[in-house]
Amino acid sequence: MPNLHIATLGIERIVPRMADMGVFIRLLSRSALGSPITQYTTHFRGPQKGGEMHIVLVDNGRSARLGMEEFWTSLKCIRCGACMNTCPVYRRSGGLSYGAVYSGPIGAIIDPTFNERKYSTLPFASTMNGSCTNVCPVKINIHEQLYKWRRVLAEHHELPFVKREIMHMAGKLMGQPTLYRTAINGTEVALSSLPRFVLYNWLNPWGKHRELPHPVKQTFHSWYKKNRLKDKKESKGGKA
Amino acid sequence: MSSRDSILATLRANRPDPAAHELPPVAVLGDMDAGKARFEDALQLLGGQILLPQEGDTLATAIARRFPDAKIICSAVPDFEGTIRLEDVASPQQAAATDVLVVRSPFGISEMGSIFLSEAQLNSLNSAAHLTQHIVVILSEKNLTANMHTAYVERPEFHTARYGVLMTGPSATADIQGVLIRGAQGVRSLSVWWE
Ligand code: SF4
């Protein structure tokens, strides 16, 4: 056993009193594993006899984050991992795909505070289902912060050109149902008839390693219009 | 300005208004049952065991029955012999050769089924709590505290021990969708003997 113990930790790890530890020990393992406590819960108050112990408190942007009104509560994270375990994106993509030390939903709102450009896409990798916020034991509004980060990143022009333009178009499209439906029909036709080089090129980084989804024969909307809408009209007509 | 001063200055400038975030009173929540049954249930939930005496058993005979193949039984308590005393284990590494370590814990937590050990019980050979194959912990019912909150508020050990560990069952590891493996990084079994 070496006689030197160096512990590095973020400044946000500090709790005010020894007695407050009970709250956090209780929350941690329950939210992480569903067990009451971890098997070894260790308390280091000082070095072993004849040894040395050093504690290095790391800031690395945390004190600056404390001043970000919409994002400072992310400092409350106790790293239990509950938000990751529940996240549909994380569960399919895994931690490495985030390309940062902090992965999962909490990573997606912390990482941009370290480097807005490098992690500009992370807040967009969310379906906004809010499951992370629901399970978070320290009640960080993760999905709301994901949404707020999107706005901040767009304002800071940290979105890649293609994504920005597509978002503009998507915004217009989705605001107008008729236009949207025509476009969807067009997409289905395009997906099934256009040659590969038109669909897979630099404008479509998503298609670099993946195939685009198979075109469907009929969208839900057109199916609904044909079947259900007709039934409804008929039954209404019957009553009258 | 040292980095320490600049961090503190930024923190002071950026902190949310302290008046709006008062320090809450110390929380003492939850079930206040400091009983033996609750402790045993919690311990067994995490794979720990109770070493139950049979008719006429002593700790020595109970250990011999539970660990028939144990060769090195190391004692950290004055009232149990063993084959070697913890004081005679020369280096932290040598603790790895121990089959069974017998140690007395100053207190347990009923809510968690945890027992506490520090350098005071381990003769400053803290590695023994990790490297030993099996550990038998002598515990008294009167030294049980109800839960995590009462433990931190009541127990003086947290303010004196340099190294203090709460142990709950054998070591275990399990990642998402992984297999639960017991004994991979620490003791393979933990048994409590009531005194
Ligand atoms: S954000 Fe909440 S749920 Fe996610 S790791 Fe941190 S404390 Fe756990």
Cross-strand pairs, B145: B109
Decide if A36 and B27 are in contact by the 8 Å CB cutoff.
Answer: no
CA distances in angstroms from A127 to A74, A105, A123, A132, A214, listed in the order given: 19, 11, 10, 11, 21
Looking at the structure, tell me whether residues A18 and A35 fall in a common domain.
yes
Domain CATH code at residue A84:
1.10.1060.10
A112 lines ligand 1 (CB under 6 A): no
A79 lines ligand 1 (CB under 6 A): yes
Decide if A43 and B169 are in contact by the 8 Å CB cutoff.
Answer: no
Looking at the structure, tell me whether residues A75 and A137 fall in a common domain.
yes
Q: Per the domain annotation, does A164 fall within a domain?
A: no
pLDDT digits (tens, 9 = 90+) for B167-194: 999 998 876 566 778 887 899 999 999 9
Q: Are A13 and A59 in contact (CB under 8 A)?
A: no
Strand positions, DSSP E, chain A: 4-10, 40-44, 52-58
Count CB pairs under 8 A between chains A and B.
114
Q: Which amino acid is at B58?
A: T
Decide if B161 and A18 are in contact by the 8 Å CB cutoff.
Answer: no
Alpha-carbon distance of A8 to B155, in angstroms, equals: 27
- Closest approach of A231 to chain B, Cα-based (Å): 46
pLDDT at A239: 47
Q: Which amino acid is at B78?
A: P
A29: left (phi over 0), alpha (psi -120 to 50) or beta: alpha
Contacts of A21 in chain B (CB under 8 A): 148, 152
pLDDT at A134: 97
Q: Please report which confidence band the pLDDT of residue B54 belongs to, taking 50, 70 and 90 as the band edges.
A: very high
Q: Which amino acid is at B26?
A: V
Decide if A36 and B119 are in contact by the 8 Å CB cutoff.
Answer: no
Q: Per the domain annotation, does A76 fall within a domain?
A: yes
Q: Per the domain annotation, does A224 fall within a domain?
A: yes
pLDDT digits (tens, 9 = 90+) for B102-130: 999 999 999 999 999 999 999 999 999 99
Q: Are B169 and B190 in contact (CB under 8 A)?
A: yes
pLDDT at A197: 74
Q: Which of B72, B71, B68 is nearest to B89 (CA)?
A: B72
Looking at the structure, tell me whether residues A78 and A43 fall in a common domain.
no
Arithmetic mean of pLDDT over chain A: 87
Select the more confidently predicted residue: B27 or B88: B88
Looking at the structure, tell me whether residues A232 and A203 fall in a common domain.
yes
Q: Could you write out the DSSP letters of every residue in A55-75?
A: EEEE-TTHHHHTT-TTTGGGG
Looking at the structure, tell me whether residues A69 and A22 fall in a common domain.
no
Distance A101 CA to ligand 1 centre (A): 14
Contacts of A57 in chain B (CB under 8 A): 7
Torsion of the alpha carbons at A219, A225, A227 and A230, rounded to the nearest 10: 180
Q: Out of B7, B16, B42, whose CB is closest to A59?
A: B7
Q: Per the domain annotation, does A37 fall within a domain?
A: yes
Q: Out of A25, A39, A63, whose CB is closest to B172?
A: A39
Alpha-carbon distance of B194 to B172, in angstroms, equals: 24
pLDDT at A194: 75
Decide if B161 and A43 are in contact by the 8 Å CB cutoff.
Answer: yes
Decide if B46 and A36 are in contact by the 8 Å CB cutoff.
Answer: yes
Question: What is the DSSP code (8-state) at residue B77?
Answer: S
pLDDT at A232: 72
Domains of chain B, residue spans? 24-194
Q: Are B131 and B99 in contact (CB under 8 A)?
A: no
B100 burial class (0-12, 13-18, 19+ CB within 10 angstroms)? buried
Residue B177 is encoded by which pair of tokens?
């969708």
B24-194 CATH choice from 3.40.50.1820, 3.40.630.30, 3.40.50.10420, 3.90.79.10: 3.40.50.10420
What are the residue ranges of helices labelled H in A47-141?
62-65, 82-86, 88-93, 104-114, 131-135
Looking at the structure, tell me whether residues A235 and A194 fall in a common domain.
yes
ipTM > 0.95 for the complex: no
pLDDT at A11: 95
Distance A13 CA to ligand 1 centre (A): 13
pLDDT at A240: 42
Q: Per the domain annotation, does A169 fall within a domain?
A: no
Work out the average pLDDT over B32-52. Answer: 96
Alpha-carbon distance of A167 to A195, in angstroms, equals: 24
Q: Which of A168, A35, A8 is nearest to A101 (CA)?
A: A8
Residue B178 is encoded by which pair of tokens?
């992984």
Q: Could you write out the DSSP letters of every residue in B140-188?
A: -GGGEESSHHHHHHH-THHHH-SEEEEE-SS-EE--TT---EESSSS-S
Q: Which amino acid is at A213?
A: P
A138 lines ligand 1 (CB under 6 A): yes
Q: What is the number of helices (H) and of strands (E) in chain B?
A: 6, 12
Q: Out of A1, A11, A19, whose CB is closest to B152?
A: A19
Range(s) of the domain holding residue A231: 181-239
Mean pLDDT, consecutive 10-residue stretches, chain A (240 aa), reads 90 93 93 90 92 95 94 96 94 92 95 92 93 97 96 84 75 78 75 74 75 78 83 60
Q: Per the domain annotation, does A167 fall within a domain?
A: no
The structural domain count of chain A equals 3
Looking at the structure, tell me whether residues A148 and A205 fall in a common domain.
no
